[in-house]
Amino acid sequence: MAAIAPLTGIKIIDLTKLAPGPHCTMILGDLGADIIKVEEPGAPTGRRAEQAGATGKVGRVVGFGSVPTNALARNKKSIGLNLKSEPGKEIYFKLARNADVVVEEFRPGVAKRLGIDYETLAARNPRLVYCAVTGFGQTGPFKNYVGHDLNYIATSGALSMIGRKDQPPSIPLNLLADYAGGGMHAAIGVLAALLARHQTGRGQYVDIAMLDGTMLLIAQALSTYFTTEKIPTRGYTSMDGAAPYYNLYETRDGKIITIGSVEPWFYANLCRALGCEQYITDQNNHAKWTEMLEHFAAIFKTRTRDEWFDYLSQSDICVGKMLTLDELEHDPQIRARNMIVEVETPTGEKVKQVGVSVKLSDTPGSIRSLAPKLGQHTEEVLGGLGYSKADIDRWRADGAIR
């Protein structure tokens, strides 16, 4: 008997567009949830037109649209629905009446102005879990401010700690606030609310702020500050590039090897492997760190990255190759963990996808379908709600659906 996924039977309405929301629903979809992605039909207008530019399309580019390789849109069905139209709202309310979860990332107040907010939906479906993902949250003086990942990690304090000594902070892509602080925390919030519903019988509102999530990521650093009242300085601590035993080094072939030998026994193994036994007692001697960094750097230049990895990994040393994206699918560990997989499209083409990260022994997740085209499942979904073909054709002609 085939194993079922943990979220089989959970119905989710996905109103999200950009990174954090789609990342949240991708995680839930991988775990078996049935996701209906509600997208705006018709040609873009207003701000959507500005975003679309000369192509006349919005959100249909790699990372945001129906490109089969776009992992954020996998395991989802797409319907085109104009939520400002009366038919659009009627359809949406009917969907929400039978849904378990709604995920949106509107600015605070927008859902209420549209008449599709939590209070309106909960009156029709008290078991509904409603998750809103925003930058600064639904409360506080910044709640209506616009922003992106960089703004949130700056406000959280995280950005102040990322970077090299005597250099400006380094921008860590949009990984911290969008994906970890936003998307992953939203998925955790939804799962927690679903578990609570199992106990109380009621849904609830899940308020996810990317600022809050990013602050939780630096909980240990904040705890240290609250204890010592010392503000960390970039590039001067053991974890941000100052220590020779926790650093990256260029190798003979111009690639990068990373060393993370923090514990004294791993550090001693490193010194022995590099022929630097004289430094074994100097692990915490900050006065020696610059000398050691230079000495280690010179040694690492004598072999290639892969030669160093093969040698050091056999000596109980914390070592890792810095892989570029084109190398990932050839790495034996990534292959063994099925973190890059090939999925077949309906036309028989095979496309590569990042794999499912959560490994469950009895109820594993899976990639069941690739990114849909806008409105690909409109007729299927509306037919399932009991609407006739005449209704669907009329509403499509009116621009209420696609």
Beta bridge partners of 198: none
**292 with 143, same domain?**
no
For the chain, the straight-line distance linking the first and the last C-alpha, in angstroms and rounded, comes to: 38
Evaluate whether residue 225 is within a structural domain.
no
pLDDT at 346: 86
Interatomic CA distance for residues 178 and 151, integer angstroms: 11
**73 with 125, same domain?**
yes
**207 with 290, same domain?**
no
Give the pLDDT confidence of 115-137 residue by residue, as tens digits: 999 999 999 999 999 999 999 99
Evaluate whether residue 233 is within a structural domain.
no
pLDDT at 54: 42
**122 with 45, same domain?**
yes
Give the pLDDT confidence of 172-182 residue by residue, as tens digits: 999 999 999 99
The DSSP line for 201-254 is S---EEEEEHHHHHHHHTHHHHHHHHHH-----TT-STTTT--TTEEEEE-TTS
CATH number at residue 315: 3.30.1540.10
Evaluate whether residue 115 is within a structural domain.
yes
**30 with 156, same domain?**
yes
**174 with 262, same domain?**
no
CATH number at residue 366: 3.40.50.10540
Structure token pair of residue 266: 């791993």
Phi, psi of 220 (to 5 degrees): -65, -40
Interatomic CA distance for residues 158 and 169, integer angstroms: 10
Which candidate, 14, 41, 45, places its Cα nearest to that of 27? 14
Total count of domains within the chain: 2
Element (H, E) at 120: helix 118-124
Q: Burial, 157: exposed, middle or buried (Cβ in 10 Å; 0-12, 13-18, 19+)?
A: middle
CA 150 to chain centre: 15
Residues of the chain with pLDDT below 50 are 51-64
The DSSP line for 257-285 is EEEE--SHHHHHHHHHHTT-GGGGGGTT-
Evaluate whether residue 24 is within a structural domain.
yes
pLDDT at 2: 59
Residue span of the structural domain in which 91 resides: 11-217+336-398
pLDDT at 131: 98
Evaluate whether residue 237 is within a structural domain.
no
Q: Which residue has the tokens 């696609």?
A: 402
**59 with 16, same domain?**
yes
**363 with 268, same domain?**
no
Evaluate whether residue 269 is within a structural domain.
yes
What is the set of active-site residues? 148, 178
User: How many Cα atoms within 13 Å fall on the side-chain side of residue 204?
Assistant: 17
Evaluate whether residue 331 is within a structural domain.
no
Interatomic CA distance for residues 110 and 112, integer angstroms: 5
